[in-house]
Structure 1
């Protein structure tokens, strides 16, 4: 081993050095920096509601700040009263009956995802990851020692993978299949029949399922959210559900999520968290308690706004020659294909990739979007429509004008 690669000389570990920066947060940070510098940038990058957290939730947090009880350490796995409320919320919203001992409260959904994979994966275990995927999934799998195996779906299937595709990707090393509906980045929602088929396939082959339900309340039209372990009870002992308050209650910055799973796995993940972070902020937990214990009126208002914006952005994107945007049925993202535009001349440049096209859109139209490479599928762009109506129309209008100049 040369001196250049010896452990004593390596400044950053190979494991951490291999992690990519969150592409969505990077785009959002760049957009905000340009805006701070005086440029009129409109950002479609970050996936967070533009609404304030509902007042009754904020009031609960303010009161918690004044209570000395919450000035101290609390159980690493979460406040008992919050876990009890999550039990009731899960039954109400998902029809899934669980016990408080099956719940771990985490610092947002990202920590829940990482700790779930860390608790069940051994080095070399494979996880089937439908693509397009949220950027954090494969990185969490790798950090936990696992190997992500991508299964790609495109716009022809509404970005939904089939059981046949999953089976083709299964090997003797496969341990987990990831299931996300509604999906980030595509907004795809699986029908009950398709979800059930995937759940039964996982049971048949003894696989674990990690299902991310963070967008459960953001579905539109005739689409319906389905909780996999409630739909396929035989899956319960090998299923981990990830959820949180971030999207439903406009609480992305409060950092409260949770995982639900078999008791032994939850205990292992709790042990990990006890050393990594200890308890989630008590004030944030009390805010989350108010959120999950309350009604869903606030999210109903947000969903109405998102639905309106969804229809607007899809219509406007599909008016651009060379852009094809399926209508998302959930979450708050549009995921148009721009493959037909790659290689065409736009203001003296010929972007060959969606990374180059996104950079051109930012430079020339002052609009921030995330390229499909970040989600495992080059040739696409992700636009979050969780921003004000006026900014949405203005931003897409700028994109229309720019891409409308494309020529061979």
Structure 2
């Protein structure tokens, strides 16, 4: 720019005095940061030392810039290169602007002390021009960091979602997730379904998750869209909103687990549910993986078969013959309580009482078509397992 060429540099004597005072000025700048910036006082010692290095490098670069007015300042390397890249990660841009402001104010305050007679205005103008260059360099550093961090985060996110699908060890998942800022124990659920054919699905999912104040991880695995939701007080509502961004077909939600370390369990159940979902054409969207337990069991999912056994078949068997006998009678009659009562030679109210007990034990009403189907599959699989045990 023209002011770089036309400006008169401070005299050599002023620059020598400024160079000798640079260490003291950097110390004064850090001391003022400590006085004026409450967040700076809480920084760890190593990060404060990085700030001191940047301040010293900035003053040295300023002196060199004044000596060679025609040379554009290389602030990104000369100044910000004095600190590790982690500084941009731990110190937000807003705080860095405060640090630069305080340093420039200290330099401006001491212009009269270090400037030779007749150099004060020239040196003050040089400080003003240099601070502008520092502002541009700061923006460049943070923009570059944000771009590279965004690319790295996207890669790490893809690896994390892929690891969930493949069922990697929980400690590896938690470590990768912490690098993306996820809380260790936030409740988590996994959604799976078809990926949309067009549009930026990652941006659409993130936008939907922000609307419901949920953390999110997104990955496309083959033609399947895998979404991890966490940090929301109402994950069910969050899942319903995010499911709108999936492609056509069923969307299945895995069970809510207590952290990303167990998200693989949720993903496994959701993927098993997605494979079995075509067997229930009328399923809601999204549909819980646990609601698809009978279809999953028929599809060969051993965990679904075990769950049906533990939640339905075993409690009914343990309740005694009357409850189980009544459930079987109602299933055989298609839910007709009067016909079931006649077959059992009991009053219909007795049938209703026993069914209430069965519902309390299993959480499923046998008189509901979906509940009846689930109980019927559970009892049929339990009978097959019992028959096999007699032969072995």
**TM-score interval, normalised by the smaller of the two chains:** under 0.3
Q: Would you tell me which structure has more helix in proportion to its own residues?
A: 2
More strand by share: 1
TM-score by structure 1 length?
Answer: 0.21
Q: Which has the higher contact order (CA 8 A, sep 6+)?
A: 1
